[in-house]
Amino acid sequence: MCTYCPGETQVNHFRFPAREQKLLRSGPTPSAMAERCKRVSYWTVEEVQRWVQQQYPSGHTAFLLAVASHSISGRALLRMGQPQLQRMGITPKQQQEILQGVMLLRVQEELENINDIFSECFSL
């Protein structure tokens, strides 16, 4: 189940708080939905750029440029932390916003991993 598809905020009986539900529902256009249902760890640099643009439409230009110049893929995004953002020149307020978004992506990735394990163990 994809947490980015419209109307689906429940993943394997895990319910995101209202604030995170809003973040998960924000921004995906119909053309981007299929791409967003792809595992984050498989996102290309272009898909990460689209995520940044959709999550933070009012700014974060420095981060968007950093994604392109450092070729940040989905796998690298999931490993992103405050030290990396600080070295990229991202402001502390923007760091916090970005890290909250990345944390949601990490949770989604982990839930998908757990779902895969469960499916392998209990497949018919």
Entry field: residues in the chain: 124
Residue 38, in any domain of the structure: yes
Domain holding 75: CATH number? 1.10.150.50
100: nearest Cα among 56, 44, 38: 56
Residue 1, in any domain of the structure: no
**Structure tokens of 26?**
């924000």
Q: What is the DSSP string of 70-104?
A: TT--HHHHHT--HHHHHHTT--HHHHHHHHHHHHH
Q: Is the pLDDT of residue 38 over 80?
A: yes
The pLDDT value given to residue 110: 95
**pTM of the entire structure?**
0.68
Supply the range of the domain harboring residue 31.
10-122
Residue 5, in any domain of the structure: no
Domain count across the chain: 1
Residue 4, in any domain of the structure: no
Q: Which of 9-13, 21-25, 34-38 has the lowest mean pLDDT?
A: 9-13
**Cα 12 to the center of its chain, rounded Å:** 18
How many whole angstroms separate alpha carbon 41 and alpha carbon 60?
Answer: 22
Find out whether 50 and 77 touch, Cβ atoms under 8 Å. no
